[in-house]
Amino acid sequence: AVPLRPPIRRLLSCPGSASADVSGVDQAPGAANTGPPPRSFSEVQRERWEQAQRTVLIRCPGRFREKPLLRFLAQHGPVSRHFFYQSVGLYAVVEFCQKESVASLQNAARTPDLSTESVIPFRSRFFTLRLKNSPSQTSEWPGVQCQDQSPPSSRKLMQLLCSAESVDQQLHALLRAFQLTEENCRLRHLTCSLIGDVAAAFFPDSVIRPFGSSTNGFGKLGCDLDMFLDLDEIRKPSASKTPGNYLLEYQVKNVPSDRVVTQKILSVIGECLDHFGPGCVGVQKILNARCPLVRFSHQASGFQCDLTTDNRVALKSSELLYLYGALDSRVRALAFSVRHWAHTHSLTSSIPGAWITNFSLTMLVIFFLQRRSPPILPTLDELKALADAEDDCVIKGHNCTFVSDLSRISPTENTETLELLLKEFFEYFGNFAFHKNSINIRQGKEQNKPESCPLHIQNPFETSLNISKNVSQVQLQKFVDLARESAWLLNQEDKSHLFPPRNQAWGLAALLLPSLPSGVSLSKRKKNRLANGTVKSLLDSIRGNGSAERATDDSG
């Protein structure tokens, strides 16, 4: 039987443990702060973009054989990588070694001729594969192995956590289970590049770049896909100087402001996606928002997409978060657990409202790690001081400069365990003076709140803005109450670790159980957690099965 809570777990705790496997994610681990430094954000993004340009998406028939399909595709050039996944149907992502192979495949494809409907012709990189001769019903089909694109179910997660050997391992296990896989990352970049093909119909040389949690290292399977339509290549001044006394400018249409430019461009791209974007459905133009956007579903990938433009600061925020996450393996492990904890207790929501966002929670984790002694993360001002001339970046008057070369940042001396950090995170924010202080990752210290709102987290680049302006007092109080309760639960475990009851979820798993409504005393809450029938039966089933790996997965 698998011990649910081994008494020796403290001995197994290992700060900065190399077990933080982040295979498949853009970033290198920064694990145990050894090995080569992770690559810079722009290097990773450039490579991903280039890969996506050589990649196609194919909707496959229900029954086909993998090897003949690959032989068929290889007629257009060598394939460097491929995988299958299931969404609404079966899809193949196929990456060629050369970009020319994609053009060759496009030349071999035809526009479908439908008998009942008419088609809008568009030569995209998204194909449907049909079999000329339908297979006989009796022949055997081996099927293909599909890569899972969704996170594990709560039941599977509980099994994973309860069969871990320490709280540190629990946090790493949660990270491994929820972080974006290599395949999911590729699919995100491919989706951006397919949407980029539509945008390029109007704006040749434009690029659609992913940002937010798809690129910053904090994305979990199933998170939305934030896209940025980058028109800078078009705006860039020409490299060649015009000779003589002449200056040549494009004739352009003028509008009153940058905001109107953004609205007009997004409006047109939204129409294009709606009318001839293959697989783009439910297109909504949300042009009057503070940051205008087009929201749609990309059916084939299953991603909910938010397309913006003129939002370059958000790209810099993604780079900053990527850098913080890559500096030390504890950062992402702690942030994933805190974000999952918040999601489980409905502190966050996919619907916009008075809730705290994942972005704000990540900021809280970064701030907390800057406040440790010695600090685990440097302040943004320290990162700015390490920057060189190439890192200089000013966006609309906001200084967004910080170092991009991670090897210039000295590793931390701090060796605290994740178990300790998790407990102290909840204690720290359970007792934080939110009524008077603001969180500021630029200076790494709390400051007097400049305005009266319940939660103030200074926007690191547009410093007069508060990224958590939307959070209500009720939601903040809920966060504080739950943080206190979680700190209390972890403290109780500390006291009882030598004689752990074998019928309760422990460590991080205990924090993810449903909570009681506020107003119920902590001792009653504790009793309720132990008596939770579902959890007991789940734990019994884990003991019965012997290992989480062998337990039946009900994820879907």
State yes or no: residue 310 binds Mg ion (CB under 5 A).
Answer: no
Which 225-264 positions form the footprint of Mg ion (CB under 5 A)?
Answer: 226
Q: Closest distance between ligand GTP and the C-beta of residue 216, in Å?
A: 6
Among 33, 184, 213, 401, binds Mg ion (CB under 5 A): 213
Number of residues this chain uses to bind Mg ion (CB under 5 A):
4
Specify the DSSP element, H or E, that contains 228.
strand 225-230
Nearer to ligand GTP, 84 or 178 (CB): 178
Specify the DSSP element, H or E, that contains 533.
helix 533-545
Nearer to ligand GTP, 399 or 410 (CB): 399
Nearer to Mg ion, 6 or 151 (CB): 151
Nearer to ligand GTP, 167 or 335 (CB): 335
**Stretches 25-33, 121-129, 220-228, 392-400: which one binds Mg ion (CB under 5 A)?**
220-228
Q: What residue 87 binds from ligand GTP, Mg ion, none (CB within 5 to 8 A, per partner kind)?
A: none
Q: Closest distance between Mg ion and the C-beta of residue 95, in Å?
A: 25
Q: Would you say 443 and 531 are in contact if contact means Cβ atoms under 8 Å apart?
A: no
Nearer to ligand GTP, 223 or 333 (CB): 223
Q: Closest distance between ligand GTP and the C-beta of residue 195, in Å?
A: 16
Nearer to ligand GTP, 349 or 541 (CB): 349
Q: Closest distance between Mg ion and the C-beta of residue 110, in Å?
A: 37
Q: Closest distance between ligand GTP and the C-beta of residue 497, in Å?
A: 34
> How far are the Cα atoms of 174, 369, 441 from residue 435, in angstroms, in the given order?
33, 21, 18
Q: What residue 198 binds from ligand GTP, Mg ion, none (CB within 5 to 8 A, per partner kind)?
A: none
**Assigned token pair, 176:** 């491994």
User: Helix 154-162 to helix 533-545 angle, to the nearest 10 degrees?
Assistant: 60
Strands 89-96, 55-60: parallel, antiparallel or unpaired by DSSP?
Answer: antiparallel
Task: Give me the residue whose beta carbon is nearest to ligand GTP.
Answer: 212
Residue 75's CB: how many other CB atoms inside 10 A?
10
**Residue 23 buriedness (CB in 10 A; 0-12 / 13-18 / 19+):** exposed
> How far are the Cα atoms of 176, 189, 363 from residue 373, in angstroms, in the given order?
27, 38, 18
> Which chain residues interact with ligand GTP by CB under 6 A?
212-213, 216, 219, 223-224, 226, 314, 317-318, 357-359, 459, 467
Q: What residue 467 binds from Mg ion, ligand GTP, none (CB within 5 to 8 A, per partner kind)?
A: ligand GTP
Q: What residue 358 binds from Mg ion, ligand GTP, none (CB within 5 to 8 A, per partner kind)?
A: ligand GTP
Q: How many CA atoms lie within 13 A of 216 on its CB side?
A: 27
**Which of 303, 348, 311 lies closest to 87 in space, CA to CA?**
303
Specify the DSSP element, H or E, that contains 80.
strand 79-87
Residue 110's CB: how many other CB atoms inside 10 A?
5
β-strand partners of 225 = 305
Nearer to ligand GTP, 19 or 304 (CB): 304
State yes or no: residue 212 binds Mg ion (CB under 5 A).
Answer: yes
Q: Closest distance between Mg ion and the C-beta of residue 525, in Å?
A: 32
Q: Closest distance between ligand GTP and the C-beta of residue 314, in Å?
A: 4
**Stretches 17-25, 38-46, 172-180, 206-214: which one binds Mg ion (CB under 5 A)?**
206-214
Q: What residue 359 binds from ligand GTP, Mg ion, none (CB within 5 to 8 A, per partner kind)?
A: ligand GTP
Q: Closest distance between ligand GTP and the C-beta of residue 363, in Å?
A: 10
**Which of 340, 356, 361 lies closest to 176 in space, CA to CA?**
340
Alpha helices for 141-283 (secondary structure H): 154-162, 167-178, 182-202, 232-235, 258-276
Q: Would you say 288 and 299 are in contact if contact means Cβ atoms under 8 Å apart?
A: no
Nearer to ligand GTP, 52 or 467 (CB): 467
State yes or no: residue 29 binds Mg ion (CB under 5 A).
Answer: no
* Cis amide linkage into residue 501, ω under 30° from 0: no
Nearer to ligand GTP, 183 or 226 (CB): 226
State yes or no: residue 224 binds Mg ion (CB under 5 A).
Answer: yes
| Tokens 């970009």 found at | 99
Give CA 173 to chain center in angstroms: 17
Give CA 181 to chain center in angstroms: 10
Q: Closest distance between Mg ion and the C-beta of residue 224, in Å?
A: 4
Q: Closest distance between ligand GTP and the C-beta of residue 213, in Å?
A: 3
Name, in order, each residue with C-beta under 8 angstroms of 362's C-beta and a sequence gap of 6 or more. Answer: 218, 321, 335, 339
Give exposure, 456-477, as e/b (b: 16+ Cβ within 10 Å): bbbbbbbeeebbbebbeeebbe
State yes or no: residue 493 binds Mg ion (CB under 5 A).
Answer: no
Nearer to ligand GTP, 126 or 359 (CB): 359
Q: Which strands, in side-by-side order, build the sheet including 89-96?
A: 79-87, 89-96, 55-60, 126-128
Nearer to ligand GTP, 92 or 223 (CB): 223
Q: What residue 170 binds from ligand GTP, Mg ion, none (CB within 5 to 8 A, per partner kind)?
A: none
Q: What residue 183 binds from Mg ion, ligand GTP, none (CB within 5 to 8 A, per partner kind)?
A: none
Q: Closest distance between ligand GTP and the C-beta of residue 46, in Å?
A: 19
Task: Give me the residue whose beta carbon is nearest to Mg ion.
Answer: 212
Nearer to ligand GTP, 129 or 314 (CB): 314
CA distance 221 to 184: 8
Length of the chain: 556
Give CA 39 to chain center in angstroms: 18
Q: Closest distance between Mg ion and the C-beta of residue 219, in Å?
A: 7
Q: Closest distance between Mg ion and the C-beta of residue 467, in Å?
A: 14
Residues that bind Mg ion (CB under 5 A): 212-213, 224, 226
